[in-house]
């Protein structure tokens, strides 16, 4: 009874103390991982110049007829001379290509995110946005879609409810593509803001991020899209609410509606297996759709009168809710068109009210699409980062696997290391001290995780073996034991260990029952609390120690190892006297194959790593089993949520990193650097003027594309932003013009520089 009560108190200790201690350890470990990632914070500029000597074709190259094109200016030169028969010029003055220098830091990240087009791979996405990927998915959908049959019904019939917009196959495929690209662009802006972290730990929902970061993106996406919803060509988009007019987030609500409509279509086509949350969200949207009420003829007539009043007063700004800027307002002189517009406006208003009533459910579906697009971006980043020598080393693509394979997080990883005991700053492990070497360390200020290897032995007859060879057993003790001293050498393991039995069923067939043959290799993650927590609870932990027998202390192996105790069993256990408290959290075990007792006794150190299962060693198999176990997911996805901590840190980096760039200490404080007569400023620091928003114009254009496609069946629909674009036509005309001269080159050499050269043609990969 005493042991059971103290065991309950141990759980209370974990909940109250170790929980905070362990979560702080994980959080600090991830912060340290990102902070030590210097490439995520370096500017990475390369001061690189080429002088005239690099453009001279050497005498040796002219004379040597066996020299093959292309030719370098020198063995490590950046200038590559190209075959005159292909690229023009002469052997003495050939065309050339300048290899760009490999950059590091943010300059390299920009090359990765938005690289120069590659003439050799026209069918591959040119940058992280991946438009070809989206076009291919939408084109595939187009081939499988049919026109909505409601297209052929009377358009004045009540047949378009919320989440059931009538689309042609072209319109449906276009809306699908726009949902993908809008989600990808909005997610991408936070990837760019967080590249200092995401270039170390990729932004994959599948492996690294959890719902926290996507909730952050969705909430900010909502604010941005609402900000883009309340105007149409600079005019307020308002809906009447009694006698009041209030802005309505038209773009945001219609986008949510189309996300749900697309999700349902994909679910019905078998492309999506909804989660419980997604299924509940769709059900809520379905209920809102079922309760939708179309406007009555009296309500439409009243709206027609209101529209007529607007036309009479000339208040064209109030036409925005009808999708008219003003240029096409003359068409409303015709009563049938006024009636049509009035009816469409009422239905649109009620549709948006319906979507607004289930906004939270719609956002659950939106997060599904964001997660899908995040995996494309994560895969792109991973591929490109792995191809860059500055980023490939130490890139984390799976945070869970990294957690149990990185000594920054866990002691005992990599080269076998003894951990668990602290003897004058030296760590040793009571479980696998035969497999490793001692390493210097101090007692952990914040606690640490420990990766341990062991053997579990479960004899049928517990009286034959001592306590040190039952339950969780030290590897060294296991390797040093000759089991033929206890059992007949020709017997099998399963004869004396475990619970496996061969029984004959009613049909006379033999069947194997039981769970284990009794001897398993195992690994576990344990936690060593901080020194402060240990000191604060020392009296309680000593009471727990005193409640255990010597045999129980050996079986637990590290749950308690405190003051010196006398153990009357074979073996040297003096190390128990100087150990601290180690709390096992999760474990995984795999049975050894059934073998003779003689073979069991002949197993030597190293077998743990050398023994194979389906061409994988036991250690790798055990790690995979551990990561896939429900216990691990409960511990490290719920209680100590590794991905949640990374998401939290990513939000912090996204909010803070860009705002730290360009401080006065960095030399950016150059306001009014040149004034005319001490008054008018000619030059301003544009970086300081930047509002720190990313892809603003892209998001605005996507809004107009989406609303245009949504209203494509409305022949009177206008978008006032098109007028603004016409005013910017001259700016757009020169947008793609670049001056790409190397001023160090002579004029007759500039004309021979080739830009779009396939890497294969110059022997590069």
**Residue pLDDT, tens place only, 600-657:** 988 887 787 777 777 778 888 898 999 999 999 999 988 899 999 999 999 999 988 8
Q: Domain ranges for the chain, please list them.
A: 1-48+101-395+641-660+693-734, 52-100+739-762, 408-628
> Using CA atoms, how far apart are residues 264 and 179, in angstroms rounded to an integer?
14
Asked which of 367-371, 411-415, 423-427, 739-743 is least confident by mean pLDDT, the reply is: 423-427
Please check whether residue 280 is in contact with residue 363, taking contact to mean a CB–CB distance below 8 angstroms. Answer: no
Token pair, residue 648, equals 């939290």
The pLDDT value given to residue 413? 59
> Residue 273 — very low, low, confident or very high, per pLDDT cuts 50/70/90?
very high
CA dihedral over 129, 131, 133, 137, signed as positive or negative:
positive
Higher pLDDT residue, 544 or 454? 454
> Residue 315 — very low, low, confident or very high, per pLDDT cuts 50/70/90?
low
Token pair, residue 4, equals 């059971």
Within its chain, how far is the Cα of 506 from the centroid?
Answer: 54
The pLDDT value given to residue 489? 93
Token pair, residue 650, equals 């990513």
Please check whether residue 253 is in contact with residue 356, taking contact to mean a CB–CB distance below 8 angstroms. Answer: yes
> Residue 328 — very low, low, confident or very high, per pLDDT cuts 50/70/90?
low
Please check whether residue 190 is in contact with residue 217, taking contact to mean a CB–CB distance below 8 angstroms. Answer: yes
Helix, strand or coil, per DSSP, at residue 746? coil
Token pair, residue 332, equals 């409303």
> Using CA atoms, how far apart are residues 86 and 752, in angstroms rounded to an integer?
12
CA dihedral over 158, 164, 170, 171, signed as positive or negative:
positive
Residue 365 scores a pLDDT above 80: yes
The pLDDT value given to residue 693? 80
The whole-model pTM stands at 0.78
* Average pLDDT of the chain, as a whole number: 76
> Using CA atoms, how far apart are residues 260 and 303, in angstroms rounded to an integer?
29
Residue 359 scores a pLDDT above 90: yes
Helix, strand or coil, per DSSP, at residue 375? helix
- Burial (CB < 10 A; 0-12, 13-18, 19+), residue 175, is buried
User: What confidence tens digit (pLDDT) does each residue in 396-445 have?
Assistant: 999 988 888 887 777 765 433 333 333 333 334 445 444 333 333 445 56
Please check whether residue 436 is in contact with residue 480, taking contact to mean a CB–CB distance below 8 angstroms. Answer: no
How would you classify the pairing of strands 410-411 and 448-457?
Answer: parallel
Please check whether residue 277 is in contact with residue 263, taking contact to mean a CB–CB distance below 8 angstroms. Answer: no
For residue 286, give the nearest of 218, 360, 369, 354 by alpha carbon. 354
The pLDDT value given to residue 565? 35
The pLDDT value given to residue 672? 44
Residue 355 scores a pLDDT above 70: yes
Beta partners for residue 437, in sequence order: 417
H or E segment at 2?
A: helix 2-13
The pLDDT value given to residue 74? 66
Q: Angle 499-501-502 (CA atoms, 0-180°, nearest 5)?
A: 165
CB atoms within 10 A of CB 485: 10
* Mean pLDDT value of segment 691-709: 86
Token pair, residue 762, equals 């110059």
Main-chain dihedrals φ then ψ at residue 339, nearest 5 degrees: -65, -40
Please check whether residue 703 is in contact with residue 225, taking contact to mean a CB–CB distance below 8 angstroms. Answer: yes
> Using CA atoms, how far apart are residues 425 and 443, in angstroms rounded to an integer?
7
Q: At what angle do helices 276-290 and 359-386 cross, to 10 degrees?
A: 140
Tokens 């299962």: give the residue.
613
> Using CA atoms, how far apart are residues 137 and 140, in angstroms rounded to an integer?
5
> Using CA atoms, how far apart are residues 119 and 683, in angstroms rounded to an integer?
39
The pLDDT value given to residue 747? 47
Residue 622's contacts (CB-CB under 8 Å, 6 or more residues apart) are 521, 522, 523, 588, 589, 590
Q: How far is CA 752 from CA 75, 82, 286, 437, 755, in A?
A: 21, 10, 65, 62, 10
The pLDDT value given to residue 11? 58
Please check whether residue 439 is in contact with residue 427, taking contact to mean a CB–CB distance below 8 angstroms. Answer: yes
Which stretch, 62-71, 107-116, 231-240, 286-295, has highest mean pLDDT?
286-295
Q: How far is CA 400 from CA 419, 626, 640, in A?
A: 21, 10, 12
Q: Give per-residue burial for 119-155: e unless 16+ CB within 10 Å, then b.
A: eeeeeebeebbbeebbeebbeebeeebeebeeeeeee
Size (the chain), residues: 765
The pLDDT value given to residue 349? 86
> Using CA atoms, how far apart are residues 747 and 93, in angstroms rounded to an integer?
13
Token pair, residue 760, equals 């294969």
> Using CA atoms, how far apart are residues 600 and 748, in angstroms rounded to an integer?
80
Within its chain, how far is the Cα of 420 from the centroid?
Answer: 33
Residue 754 scores a pLDDT above 70: no
Q: How far is CA 507 from CA 502, 504, 582, in A?
A: 14, 8, 51
Helix, strand or coil, per DSSP, at residue 303? helix
Token pair, residue 115, equals 């690289």
> Using CA atoms, how far apart are residues 410 and 29, in angstroms rounded to an integer?
9
Q: Angle 335-336-340 (CA atoms, 0-180°, nearest 5)?
A: 115
């Amino acid at each position: 009874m005493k042991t059971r009560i103290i065991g309950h108190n141990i759980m209370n200790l974990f909940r109250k103390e170790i929980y905070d201690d362990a979560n702080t350890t994980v959080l600090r470990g991830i912060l340290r991982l990102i902070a030590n990632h210097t490439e995520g914070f370096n500017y990475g500029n390369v001061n690189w110049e080429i002088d005239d000597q690099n453009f001279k074709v050497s005498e040796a190259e002219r004379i040597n007829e066996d020299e093959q094109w292309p030719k370098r200016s020198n063995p490590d030169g950046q200038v590559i001379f190209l075959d005159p028969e292909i690229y023009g010029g002469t052997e003495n003055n050939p065309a050339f290509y300048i290899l760009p220098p490999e950059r590091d830091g943010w300059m390299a990240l920009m090359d990765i995110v938005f690289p120069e087009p590659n003439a050799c791979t026209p069918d591959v996405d040119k940058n992280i946005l991946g438009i070809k990927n989206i076009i291919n998915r939408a084109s595939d959908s187009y081939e499988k879609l049919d026109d909505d049959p409601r297209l052929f019904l009377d358009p004045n019939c009540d047949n378009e409810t919320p989440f059931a917009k009538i689309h042609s196959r072209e319109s449906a495929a276009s809306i699908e593509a726009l949902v993908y690209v809008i989600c990808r662009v909005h997610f991408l802006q936070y990837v760019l803001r967080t590249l200092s972290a995401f270039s170390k730990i990729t932004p994959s929902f599948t492996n690294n991020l959890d719902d926290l970061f996507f909730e952050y993106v969705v909430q900010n996406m909502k604010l941005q899209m609402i900000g883009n919803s309340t105007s149409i060509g600079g005019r307020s988009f308002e809906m009447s609410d009694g006698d009041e007019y209030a802005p309505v987030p038209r773009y945001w609500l219609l986008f949510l509606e189309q996300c749900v409509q697309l999700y349902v279509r994909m679910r019905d086509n078998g492309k999506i297996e909804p989660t419980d949350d997604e299924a509940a969200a769709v059900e809520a949207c379905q209920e809102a759709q079922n309760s939708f009420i179309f406007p009555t003829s009296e309500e439409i007539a009243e709206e027609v009168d209101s529209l007529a009043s607007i036309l009479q007063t000339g208040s064209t700004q109030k036409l925005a809710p009808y999708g008219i800027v003003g240029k096409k307002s003359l068409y409303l002189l015709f009563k049938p068109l006024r009636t049509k517009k009035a009816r469409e406006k009422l239905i649109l208003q009620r549709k948006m009210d319906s979507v607004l009533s289930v906004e939270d459910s719609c956002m659950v579906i939106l997060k599904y699409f964001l997660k899908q697009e995040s995996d494309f971006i994560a895969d792109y980043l991973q591929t490109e980062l792995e191809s860059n020598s500055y980023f490939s080393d130490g890139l984390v693509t799976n945070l869970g696997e990294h957690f149990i394979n990185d000594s920054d997080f866990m002691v005992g990883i990599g080269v076998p290391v003894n951990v668990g005991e602290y003897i004058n700053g030296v760590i040793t492990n009571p479980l696998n001290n035969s497999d490793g070497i001692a390493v210097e360390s101090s007692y952990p200020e914040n606690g640490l995780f420990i990766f341990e290897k062991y053997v579990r032995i479960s004899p049928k007859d517990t009286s034959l073996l001592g306590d040190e060879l039952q339950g969780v057993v030290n590897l060294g003790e296991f390797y040093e034991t000759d089991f033929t001293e206890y059992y007949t050498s020709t017997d099998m393991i399963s004869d004396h260990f475990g619970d496996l039995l061969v029984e004959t069923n009613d049909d006379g067939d033999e069947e194997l029952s039981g769970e284990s043959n009794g001897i398993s290799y195992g690994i576990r993650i344990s936690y060593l609390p901080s020194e402060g927590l240990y000191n604060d609870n020392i009296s309680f932990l000593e009471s727990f120690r005193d409640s255990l027998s010597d045999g129980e202390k050996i079986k637990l192996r590290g749950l308690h190892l405190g003051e010196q105790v006398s153990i009357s069993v074979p073996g040297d256990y003096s190390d128990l006297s100087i150990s601290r408290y180690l709390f096992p959290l999760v474990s995984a075990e795999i049975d050894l194959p059934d073998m003779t007792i003689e073979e069991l006794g002949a197993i030597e150190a190293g077998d743990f790593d050398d023994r194979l299962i389906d061409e994988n060693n036991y250690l790798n198999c055990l790690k995979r089993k551990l990561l896939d176990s429900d216990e691990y997911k409960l511990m490290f996805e719920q209680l100590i949520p590794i991905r949640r901590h990374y998401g939290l840190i990513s939000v912090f980096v996204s909010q803070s990193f860009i705002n730290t760039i360009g401080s006065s200490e960095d030399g950016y404080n150059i306001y009014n650097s040149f004034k005319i007569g001490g008054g008018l400023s000619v030059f301003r620091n544009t970086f300081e003027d930047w509002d720190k928003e990313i892809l603003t114009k892209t998001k605005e254009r996507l809004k107009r594309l989406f609303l245009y496609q949504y209203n494509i069946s409305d022949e009177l629909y206008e978008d006032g932003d098109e007028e603004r674009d016409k005013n910017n036509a001259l700016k757009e005309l020169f947008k793609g013009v670049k001056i790409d001269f190397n001023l160090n080159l002579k004029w007759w050499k500039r004309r021979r520089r080739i830009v779009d050269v396939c890497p294969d043609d110059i022997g590069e990969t």
